[in-house]
Amino acid sequence: MNRFESDLLAQIQRRGDGVTGRVLVACSGGGDSVALVVLLWSLRKSLGLELSVIHADHGLRPESPEDAAFVRQLCRALDLDLAEASLGVRAHAESHGLGLEMAARDLRWGWFRQEAQQAGACAVATGHTLDDHTETVFLRLARGGGLASLHPLAPRQGLRWSPLAELRRADLRAYLMARNIPWREDASNAEPFTARNRWRPLIASIRQEAPELDRHLFETHLQAAEAAAMAHRLIHSWEGSRWRIAEEAIAFRQEPWTEPDLRWTLEAAFRRLGWPREAALLRGLAPWLAARLARSRKPASWGNFHLNPEPEAGYLHLTQGPPPSRA
């Protein structure tokens, strides 16, 4: 076991990913997923893993048969079982009105779940990296995600396991080169047909000025997650006394609220109800609501939100039409 492999083992053990036994390793043939296969193969005894590989052919690129052949050769070299599937992504996208990226994800993970169930696997390992974290943060910020944009990608989320979550793509490729292991390059990653692909060159230029951007941002991720967890514990401790979900409304005790307290409470309640919770929306709604909960006893509206004061509480509704009646 070399230094790079032992560092990854230490990361997995420190995080407590909790993955042992049968694991399916998703491999496209690209640098991240090839490094994933080789690293987990090297650590399989230390982690108590039984590995097999799965490869999905999305049928979107003329090079995909060559990618599949490459993955087969890699599995033969490592003596790993391989399951393959050809997915009709384009037809699925057209029949369901989806973009190609979303359609590919739907079909891929549908098949992954099926294979995991049949194999008795506890997880599907994917090659998500620290670079993916950074790209996701910028994508979320651009969409108005607020503090939630800084939450780290959980290394373990349901069936998905991302053991490389704290490693850079460049370091993975350096590891493969040092071991003289080839990989396939997907030219479509450089084509600007997805938002993530359009962000990649922009983030690359930022890294030239800030080479440690990814690691510093990841540490900020961890601190933001800790702060958010503390705030959520406080907000949920108020549920039932200061606020509660009442059918399709949020009931607030009519008393002075600070704007930050209201923003955090609104975010938690909106998430529960499936309401839109963009940061700019909550920052505009909170002061309006705070003023009325403190002193107003008259119904009022703000955009698509309607506040209906009653003796015991103020009820906030989301409505596209006339304010709902609580009669």
CATH code where residue 7 lies: 3.40.50.620
Give the count of beta carbons closer than 10 Å to the beta carbon of residue 306.
18
Residue 12: both structure tokens together: 């997995």
**pLDDT of the residue at 95:** 83
Domain end point (choices 220, 248, 268) = 220
How far does CA 191 lie from the centroid of its chain? 22
Beta strands 160-161 and 156-157 are: antiparallel
Q: Report if residue 232 sits inside a domain.
A: no
Element spanning 12, H or E: helix 3-15
Strand order in the sheet with 123-125: 82-86, 49-57, 21-26, 123-125, 160-161, 156-157
Q: Are residues 179 and 296 located together in one domain of the fold?
A: no
End-to-end CA distance of the chain: 70
Q: What is the predicted pLDDT for the residue at 325?
A: 40
In a domain, 190, yes or no: yes
Between CA 97 and CA 99 the distance in angstroms is 7
Strand partners, 169: none
- Does residue 208 share a domain with residue 288? no
Q: Is residue 227 in a domain?
A: no
How far apart CA 107 and CA 115 sit, in angstroms, is 12
Strands across the sheet containing 314-318: 243-246, 249-252, 314-318, 305-309, 300-302
One domain, residues 171 and 301: no
Residue 83 lies in a domain: yes
Do 103 and 183 belong together in one domain? yes
Residues 259 and 214 in one domain: no
Q: How many whole angstroms separate alpha carbon 191 and alpha carbon 194?
A: 8
Q: d(Cα 4, Cα 275) in Å, to the nearest integer?
A: 44
Q: Is 325 contained in some domain? A: no
Weakly modelled stretches of the chain, pLDDT under 70: 148, 152, 187-193, 320-327
Retrieve residue 186's tokens. Answer: 């997907």
Pair type for strands 156-157 and 123-125: unpaired
Q: Is 118 a member of any domain?
A: yes
Identify whether residues 279 and 243 lie together within a single domain.
yes
Contact 162, 125 (CB under 8 A): yes
Does 181 lie in the same domain as 286?
Answer: no
- 150 & 198 share domain: yes
Query: What pLDDT is attached to residue 149?
Result: 75
- Which of 188, 220, 252 lies at the terminal end of a domain, its last residue? 220
Instruction: Name the residue range of residue 43's domain.
Output: 3-220
| Partners of 54 in the β-ladder | 26, 83
CA 183, CA 260: separation in Å to the nearest integer? 49
| Euclidean distance between CA atoms 304 and 118, whole angstroms | 47
State how far Cα 276 lies from the chain centre. 18
Question: Are 75 and 115 members of one domain?
Answer: yes
Does 169 lie in the same domain as 288? no
Within-domain flag for 229: no
In a domain, 323, yes or no: no
**Cα-based distances in Å from 144 to 40, 138, 149, 261, 282:** 36, 10, 8, 19, 11
- Considering the domain architecture, whether residues 14 and 114 belong to the same structural domain is answered as yes
Q: Report the 10 Å Cβ neighbour count for 209.
A: 7
| Number of separate domains in the chain | 2
51: nearest Cα among 161, 157, 153? 161
| 133/204 same-domain check | yes
